[in-house]
Amino acid sequence: MQDAAPLAASPLIRHLRSIPQRELYFFALYRVLEAGLMAALFFSPLTGLIEQARLPVLGQATATAYLACALVLLVSSRNEHRLAALVIVGTAIDIAAAALASHALPAVGAGIATMLMFNVAAAAMLLPLRTGLAMAALASLMLAV
């Protein structure tokens, strides 16, 4: 009689276990895209066409720090064992960067808030319900100030 292959070794189970890691990787990749767009916005000479930045140095510092943090989170997203911690830290960084960028350049606040909405929604899908709701509440409070 043949031994049945253990369930844990099944290709389907391995595939299902790798899904959160892929979601975290693409979430981190999207964060790098957002940080790149924010850096392009604050370092571009075309920023003056939108509106004069209220605090251009704050915007440039925020964009630089956000891009650096996004790249670190992208590299860190390879480790699935810290999934919840990476999502929470990454979303907190997203919220802080969005609040500072909206303060530095108020004319693009609606666009930044829309990008943040996607980040919070993606984080809520990867986190437990209470933690996801807490992140959404934190984002609302930070952008309301």
DSSP string covering 22-57, please? HHHHHHHHHHHHHHHHHHHHHHSTTHHHH---SSHH
CA atoms 60, 27, 127, 129: torsion sign: positive
C-alpha separations of 122 from 23, 70, 97, 115 in Å: 9, 15, 17, 11
Of residues 110 and 21, the one with the higher pLDDT is: 110
Tens of pLDDT, residue by residue over 20-40, are 778 888 989 999 999 999 999
Tens digits of residue pLDDT in 80-96: 678 888 999 999 999 99
Q: Alpha-carbon distance 61 to 64, whole Å?
A: 5
Specify whether the CB–CB gap between 83 and 24 falls below 8 A.
Answer: yes
Q: Which residue has the higher pLDDT, 142 or 53?
A: 142
What predicted TM-score, i.e. pTM, was given to this entire model?
A: 0.83
The most confident of the ranges 2-11, 12-21, 35-44 is: 35-44
